[in-house]
Amino acid sequence: ERAGDLEAQVRQALSDMFAGGNGFPQAGDESAVLAEQEQERDRLRSRLRSIDRRLEGYVDSAAKGRLSKEKMHKLSVSAAGDRLAVEDAIEAAELRISAYVDAAGRKRGRERDVAKLLDAWDELGFPERQTGLREAIARVTVTDDDAIKITLRP
């Protein structure tokens, strides 16, 4: 009977968490973080275009005789190094954006799974409920007075 009571408490606590809109933990304002990452990527792309214009300017100046070929070569090598560094930074920013979007998608999927678990609770057998709970909950702490605290998986 104690196991049944504790299971009911876990179900209620999980239901209360998700009904309150809390759900799985998140770090800060998700949309603001994603927007910030996208702005950084866009800023880097703009810098890349600026470097390309600078390179074109070097070639144009050399073609018109305003810049020696040696000086153009030296400036172009420096600009090419800058370009490679910016390309690497863009790639890293895109990977961060992709990882963030993937994590947000996984979180939404897990929240849908918990909602399905709670909705179908009475129709599910013990093994199915246990599997669903294990996927959503990292830890259940039971105190001496049989109160529980659940910790969701990150």
Query: What's the CA dihedral at 53, 59, 62, 63 to 10 degrees?
Result: -120
pLDDT digits (tens, 9 = 90+) for 98-142: 988 888 888 888 888 888 888 898 999 888 888 888 888 888 888
What token pair was written down for 56? 């074109």
Q: Is 126:116 a contact under the CB 8 Å cutoff? A: no
pLDDT grade, residue 52 (50/70/90)? Answer: very high
CB atoms within 10 A of CB 90: 18
CB 113 within 8 A of CB 132: yes
* CA separation for the pair 151, 154 (Å, rounded): 9
Mean pLDDT, rounded, for 39-47 = 96
Q: Nearest Cα to 133, choosing from 12, 34, 41? A: 12
**Amino acid identity of 92?**
A
Which tens digits make up the pLDDT trace of 57-102?
A: 999 999 999 999 899 999 999 999 999 999 999 999 999 999 888 8
Distance CA 24, CA 130 (A): 18
CB 86 within 8 Å of CB 12: no
